[in-house]
Amino acid sequence: MLPLEMPSEESRSLRQVFEAEESSLLRYAYGLVGQRETAEDLVQEAFVRLHAHWEEVANPRAWLFRTIHNLALNHLRDHQRETSLEATQEWASNSPDPEQALGKLEAIGTLQLLIAELPSEDRKLIRLKYHQKLKYDQISQCTGLSVGNVGYKLHHLLKHLADSLRHLGIESAEG
């Protein structure tokens, strides 16, 4: 292996996966549960489970996102009744019912999981467009693709993601 070459996903150690993915996994878990301490616990639990299944896992990054998604949903289900009275009143007045909120979290988590499983070039296009909110011409400058090609690729990526969500039974943002 050349000194500047990144190790392939197959040859990375658990420590390398942890160092590379911990931050994004924490952000993802926090987005699902809304509590930093709980998010840290979920990420820790996911890595403990990954360690136990290390030899079986072909794509550690996607496996970790899927595991955190499932752990977060379990946590939310198990702790649904542990909200304070004020939070419950706020929830009732400003938000949809808990089933809708859970459906929305599932839809978001599933979408993030599908995106995590995309090739890195496709993830980069989505990140530039929807996280950094760049216009097609700016994305073109960042990637070297023509403006038309950026539009074409994004259109087909979004269509593929929508089809995948429908295939998984998710028809709307509410799940």
Domain ranges for the chain: 11-82, 97-112+119-175
Q: What is the pLDDT of residue 97?
A: 61
Higher pLDDT, 84 or 82: 82
* Stretch 40-63: mean pLDDT: 92
The CATH class, in words, for 11-82 is mainly alpha
What residues contact 54, with CB distance under 8 A and at least 6 apart? 14
> Does domain 97-112+119-175 correspond to CATH entry 1.10.10.10?
yes
Whole-angstrom CA distances from 159 to 105, 156, 162, 166 are: 21, 5, 5, 10
DSSP state of 10: T
Quote the pTM value. 0.48
Count of Cβ atoms closer than 10 Å to residue 149 Cβ: 15
CB 94 within 8 A of CB 108: no
Cα–Cα distance between 88 and 101 in angstroms, integer?
13
**pLDDT beyond 90 at 148:** yes
